[in-house]
Amino acid sequence: MVSCAQAKPEISATSVKMLRVQELNEQFSERLSLFVLFSDEDGNQDFSGIRLLHNASGMEWVLEKENTIVRLRGNDRWIGSSDIAPAGNTLFPEGEYTIIASDLSGNEAVKPILLNRPDFPKLAPVSFSLDGDLWTLERNPDAGEFTENFLFLHNTEPWLVHTWKMPSVQKKSVGDLETFRRDAREAVTIQCYSENKSGTAGVLLRPVEME
């Protein structure tokens, strides 16, 4: 009789960011971005989902496979979501959490994390505006540690089609939308994202129509 041992999944790294996301009414909601560097000897498709457990309260968030996205960074394949909402659309509790990623056979990989709420500025770290085809991005005085700024271009799906990294030393940047159209012809909206220096928190402004 031959027995086949199933390969055990592994989480070799995690990426966790606390986000403030601006809604269309310009109010901000809290979200969590959670991605894991998940591997399984049976292949990339041997993945079932991710559970996030707050140890003290027992609160749990479940990400089924169909509700996750894959991000490729070089040879690394990260899987997770950047749109995890707190219970009752309030705030995530701080403290110790456990990440549990499972394969299709129910085998689990476990990783502990510690979630601390960063000091978000009272206002958005930057303001972004359009005047015809001219855009302006200006850093607010109370931006604090949120010095890394990006512009995300999306198509009608809306899928991210291009990312533009802004110089962190500049307090004000001005440009023409034609520059973005050359890099991403299918882009229809532009969205500004600011991140702190440690990469643990970010503020995402509402999308702006490019037309």
Predicted local confidence at residue 4, as pLDDT: 54
Predicted local confidence at residue 55, as pLDDT: 98
Is pLDDT above 90 for 26? Answer: no
Predicted local confidence at residue 211, as pLDDT: 77
pTM: predicted TM-score of the whole model, two decimal places? 0.89
Domains along the chain?
Answer: 10-115 (2.60.40.2160), 126-209 (2.60.40)
From the number of C-beta atoms within 10 Å of its C-beta (0-12, 13-18, 19+), residue 172 rates as exposed
Confidence of residue 40 (pLDDT cuts 50, 70, 90): confident
Other CB atoms within 10 A of residue 47 CB: 21
Better-scored residue on pLDDT, 183 or 15: 15
Residue owning tokens 């998940």: 38
Confidence of residue 43 (pLDDT cuts 50, 70, 90): confident
pLDDT per position as a tens digit, 66-116: 999 999 989 999 999 999 999 987 899 999 999 999 999 999 999 999 999
Nearest to 152 by CA among 141, 144, 140, 160: 160
pLDDT per position as a tens digit, 168-204: 778 899 999 998 899 899 999 999 999 999 999 999 9
pLDDT per position as a tens digit, 118-151: 999 988 999 999 999 999 999 999 999 999 999 9
Q: Are the C-beta atoms of residues 203 and 124 closer than 8 Å to each other? A: yes
Nearest to 90 by CA among 32, 17, 33, 29: 29
Predicted local confidence at residue 100, as pLDDT: 98
